[in-house]
């Protein structure tokens, strides 16, 4: 009896996993995640009063003192371009990415987008503010956060760092 049980339990688990994968494949991950967790867009991040969750599935870059109620993962650098140019360059960088849906943001100096992870298509929301700096410079506040799960295995950090590196290359080509 015990031997049968030891064989049956892994088979039942494997069967349940197979059924879940079939459902995901047939209906599409987007529809499944939306049905289970709601809209993929988590809404804008209000950087001035942002308080982060205790979960590690997020990554925040902020200019110094711009996010007074939380500690950013990284302090934003000042870019030697106007806020309009920086926002335009960042939007262009994001628009070249795969699996991205840009969300209209009513603020003229902000935008956000939803990107999906490669395999399971988990949705992550990225909010961006452009902040005027001194002498014609500007800075970015970027908050990338996962809708699903407690850990993101560093995906949000990698995404933001890759975006900032691509932005640097784009701005360097302008000169």
Model confidence at 157, pLDDT cuts 50, 70, 90, reads: very high
Contacts of 51 (CB under 8 A, 6+ apart): 69, 70
C-alpha distance across the termini of the chain, in Å: 75
- Nearest Cα neighbor of 138 from 100, 89, 92, 74 is 89
Q: What is the average pLDDT score of the chain?
A: 86
Model confidence at 15, pLDDT cuts 50, 70, 90, reads: confident
- Nearest Cα neighbor of 47 from 73, 75, 66, 64 is 66
Same-domain check for residues 26 and 45 = no
Higher pLDDT residue, 123 or 2? 123
Same-domain check for residues 1 and 80 = no
Same-domain check for residues 72 and 127 = yes
Q: What is the pLDDT of residues 26-54, one digit of tens each?
A: 667 777 777 776 777 888 889 999 999 88
- pTM score of the predicted model: 0.82
* pLDDT attached to residue 83: 93
Domains: count for the chain = 2
119: β partners? none
* pLDDT attached to residue 90: 93
Q: Is 10 left (phi over 0), alpha (psi -120 to 50) or beta?
A: alpha
CATH number at residue 49: 3.30.310.80
Whether 5 has a pLDDT exceeding 70, the answer reads: no
* pLDDT attached to residue 89: 94
Q: d(Cα 15, Cα 47) in Å, to the nearest integer?
A: 45
Domain that holds residue 131: 39-174
* pLDDT attached to residue 48: 93
Same-domain check for residues 148 and 77 = yes
Q: d(Cα 49, Cα 5) in Å, to the nearest integer?
A: 54
Same-domain check for residues 105 and 20 = no
* pLDDT attached to residue 158: 94
Same-domain check for residues 26 and 71 = no
- Decide: 116 and 146 in contact? Cβ < 8 Å: no
* pLDDT attached to residue 150: 83
Q: What is the pLDDT of residues 102-146, one digit of tens each?
A: 887 677 788 899 998 877 788 899 999 999 998 899 999 999 998
Same-domain check for residues 88 and 155 = yes
Q: What is the pLDDT of residues 70-88, one digit of tens each?
A: 999 999 999 999 999 999 9
Same-domain check for residues 119 and 75 = yes
- Nearest Cα neighbor of 164 from 102, 83, 78 is 78
- Decide: 47 and 66 in contact? Cβ < 8 Å: yes
Q: How many CB atoms lie within 10 A of CB 113?
A: 20
């Amino acid at each position: 009896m015990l031997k049968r049980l030891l064989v049956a339990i892994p088979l039942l688990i494997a069967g349940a996993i197979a059924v879940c994968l079939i459902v995901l494949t047939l209906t599409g991950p987007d529809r499944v995640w939306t049905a289970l967790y709601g809209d993929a867009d988590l809404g804008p991040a209000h950087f001035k009063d942002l308080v982060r969750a205790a979960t590690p599935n997020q990554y925040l870059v902020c200019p110094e003192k711009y996010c007074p109620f939380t500690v950013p993962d990284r302090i934003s650098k000042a870019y030697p371009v106007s806020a309009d140019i920086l926002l335009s360059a960042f939007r262009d960088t994001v628009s070249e990415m795969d699996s991205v849906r840009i969300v209209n943001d009513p603020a003229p100096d902000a935008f956000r987008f939803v990107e999906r992870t490669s395999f399971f298509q988990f949705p992550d929301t990225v909010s961006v503010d452009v902040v005027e700096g001194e002498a014609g410079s500007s800075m970015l506040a970027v908050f990338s956060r996962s809708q699903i799960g407690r850990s993101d295995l560093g995906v949000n950090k990698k995404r933001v760092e890759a975006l900032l590196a691509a932005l640097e290359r784009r701005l360097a080509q302008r000169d």
